[in-house]
Structure 1
Amino acid sequence: MADLSGLKGIDGLVGACLVDSDSGLVLGKEGGGEFDLDTAAAGNTEVIRAKRKTMNALGIDGGIEDILITLDDQYHLIRLLKSNDAIFLYVVLDKNKGNLGMARMVLKKVESTLDLSI
């Protein structure tokens, strides 16, 4: 499993995971508690697939850096890895405690430290 402990430093972190978008399987987790990260990972895999399909239909070249979903009381941030866009980091933040800009900075830093070799 990948080390996601660096994500603990994000204020308002509810949970986070590293996900294989080909299968929807979780490769590593941090936090989560009662929040079902496995179900969220599988569902957000579908979000990525839908966005890629739409981009293709519109003839939009390039990749997805991140996707933000804002709920009443949470931010859900999906960040595809630059080194392998089949893998993404998924972070859930408490909207009242979290800072989206700082969360993005921490995600980039943690991404740069990930070792996905087997």
Structure 2
Amino acid sequence: MIRFVRRSVAIACAVTFASLFAVPAAQAAPHWTIQPCHFDLQAHWLPKQTMSGVFVACTTAADRNQQINDALASGEPTRMSNALRALLQQNADSFLTPESPCTPGQEAAMGGDYARCVG
């Protein structure tokens, strides 16, 4: 009798533990949706000019480089910081693939295309 109780408790614990890590079938994992830029444009991270932050947009590499250089040469700490953040984010995105994990709402410049995480 005691052996039966121990075995039952062990099975109940195992089932409960496994259910903690099971993903319900109704919930899809967050994933990247990718939209190519039109014409000869590519997705690039750009520095904001008047407030702190960066944003991703479809533009030419020459335009992006000009915006980064202008921000760095401005002497304004916020713009200079934004330019560095744009460079770092562009570099970080170069390691992403469509299978990379993401957080819903996250944006990226993935392989020259605009990517957004949906969940």
Larger radius of gyration: 2
- Structure showing the higher helix proportion among its residues: 2
TM-score strictly above 0.5: no
TM-score computed with the length of structure 2 as normaliser = 0.29
TM-score computed with the length of structure 1 as normaliser = 0.29
- Structure showing the higher strand proportion among its residues: 1
